[in-house]
Amino acid sequence: MLIHKNTFKHLNFKLIDTGLHDATWNIAMDQALLEKSHIYGPFLRFLSFSPECVLIGYFQSVNQEIRIDYCEKEKIQVQRRITGGGAIYFDPSQIGWEIIGRISDFPYTHKELSYIFGSAVAYALSKMGINAEFRERNDIEVNGKKISGMGGVTYEGNFLFQGTLLVKDRIERMLKSLKVPIEKLKPKEIDSLRERVTCIEHELGYVPKRDELKEILISGISEYLGVNITPYSIPPDIKKRHKELLPYFKSEKWVNKIVFREDEQDVLSGYYRTQNGTIKVSMMINTRQKMIRNAIFTGDFFLNPRESIYDIESLLRNTRFDLKNVENIVIDYFKRYKLDGITATDLILAIKEVFKKWTLIKDGLTPKEANDVFMVNLNSLKGFEPKAFLLPYCAKETSCSLRYKKECISCGLCTVGDAYNFSYEYGLRPITITTFEDLMETFENLKREGIYEYIGSCCEAFYVKHQDDFNQSGLSGVLINIENATCYDLDKAKEAYIGKFESKTNLNLSLIKKVLKLIFKKETKGARK
């Protein structure tokens, strides 16, 4: 898209810098300027927020997008923007920029204006030595990493485009404030997400003063758009309108204007091992709207160029949660670009693991419960009839004489005994697995007996590491994650592999019981038809 620098040379932009204010003050000023911009505009406004805050998009629900308990504890303000898009975190170091004007003065489509204004800001950053460029889906990026997000809104012939410029590294604070598609926020997960975002501090090696940043932005935007930008004082009638708007934007009626049930949106995740590493897919799914609100791919997989995965994440954001739709997006991207590493098929197979979790939710599990269930050579529980229950020895008491044996006397001292009792209720054969080799041998023994379906329990890390072995066993299974620290968490995987892990884990009995009920439809074997 080619836009000449002198496109808007007939316009004189009025510069307003409202400095540091709280979230309510800033949002009310957005609305006041938007309402009056056909009289006084166009405006170039700079704004910052103090205290720190999180801002949800106009069409979002606070309880679905924000970690409310964390924000309350940390005294982080929560507000709703007048623009659409996703939730964002703002701290006093960040600088917001806005272009507000009359639509008739800017004869372009919304998409074209996004490109024009985004490119103008990117051009300004390039004057600082930052290799920034506008990317579709309204982001300004530096070498594939997001440094500024954008959004816009129209109102009675006027428009407002706005963006946030990340200045300091506040990624951990941001992730803890917002419900991103990562369930546990482990250090590795945070580091992975940090690879998707950058800031002025990282790019320049220091934090420029706010005035310095502002002057460079003014110069770059003016030069790129071919316009004059002159300082301007807010007119009295805009100040009056702003004062009138403050009570409404402060009210619960505005902040919680849209409320969706919290359980209607959550993260679903799945894993897939490829020759080029393991892919973990985490998707924030709105179950009412059947929409992918956000998607993140993490893991030790290889893909070059690396930023390609961020493009795919962006393309999946706010799209229909429909497998065919997702497949088309991924296949089309891989057709358009020459990539090395994982293939479109690999990525689709990883995504299909998320759709498996969706079938579990439709069966009655919560998203959290579904994420703790792994289906092997199955797409749903329909028609699944297990005959054996495979249990890990590490969940037995460390002092138990049968800890490393395949039997259990259900003495009541550990969760394995309870699982054995569940097995007897549902007519399953309980088997304690003592080593990895024992698991492989058990699979062969079951097949010799004509048993091809089983239920079991193991930790997520074990399942991911041995996903190929489970898939290639020729058996179908449902595995339920254990509850507490595992040998992988404790760096004892080698000991566990050979059956010498000395710590004790706990089975997730409540989830095991719920899954058994879903599979067998009735409480006990005797009640089954």
Domain assignment present for residue 337? The answer is yes
pLDDT, position 143: 86
Residue 7 lies in a domain: no
The verdict on residue 257 lying in a domain is no
- Structural domain for 482, as ranges: 373-527
Domain identity same for 464 and 490: yes
Assess whether pLDDT exceeds 50 at residue 237: yes
Q: Do 385 and 501 lie in a common domain?
A: yes
On whether both 242 and 359 belong to a single domain, the answer is no
Sheet holding 145-155, edge to edge: 132-135, 139-142, 145-155, 158-165, 95-102, 43-49, 12-21, 228-231
pLDDT in tens, 138-196: 789 998 888 998 888 999 999 999 999 999 988 888 888 988 766 556 666 677 777 78
71 or 394, which is more confident? 71
Structure confidence at residue 520 as a pLDDT band (50, 70, 90): very high
Lowest mean pLDDT among 84-88, 187-191, 432-436: 187-191
- Asked if 245 and 315 sit in the same domain, the reply is no
The closest of 434, 267, 439, 265 to 357, measured between CA atoms, is 267
Q: Could you tell me if residue 4 is inside a domain?
A: no
Average pLDDT along the chain: 88
Which residue, of 224, 249, 274, is where some domain finishes? Answer: 249
Average of per-residue pLDDT across 347-366: 93
Cα 335 to chain centroid, rounded: 25
Q: CA angle, 453 as apex, 447 and 459 as ends, to 5°?
A: 110
What's the number of domains the chain is made of? Answer: 3
Tell whether 272 and 201 lie within a shared domain: no
Query: Which pLDDT score, from 0 to 100, does residue 401 have?
Result: 81
Q: DSSP label at 178?
A: B
Of 313, 345, 363, the residue at which a domain comes to its end is 363
323 and 434 in a single domain? The answer is no
CATH number of the domain to which 236 belongs: 3.30.930.10
Q: List Cβ neighbours of 399 (8 Å cut-off, separation of 6 or more).
A: none
Greater confidence (125 vs 191) lies with 125
Do both 108 and 22 map to the same domain? yes
512 inside domain: yes
Instruction: For residues 293 and 186, state if they share a domain.
Output: no
Enclosing H/E stretch for 420: helix 415-425
Same structural domain, 331 and 418: no
Other beta carbons less than 10 A from residue 68's beta carbon:
16
Report pLDDT for 412: 76
pLDDT tens digits, 382-394: 999 999 999 998 8
pTM over 0.85, yes/no: no
Dihedral-angle region of residue 281 (phi above 0 means left; psi in -120 to 50 means alpha; beta otherwise):
beta
- Is residue 47 located within the same domain as residue 185? yes
- Round to whole Å and give the CA distance between 13 and 5: 15
- pLDDT confidence bin for 122, thresholds 50/70/90: very high
Residues 134 and 268 in one domain: no
Mean pLDDT across 127-143: 87
Please report, for the domain that includes residue 350, its CATH number.
3.30.390.50
Same domain, 303 and 235: no
Across 278-304, b (16+ Cβ under 10 Å) vs e yields bbbbbbbbbbeeebbbbbbbbbebebe
Given 189, 216, 249, the domain boundary residue is: 249
> What's the average model confidence in pLDDT over 305-309?
84
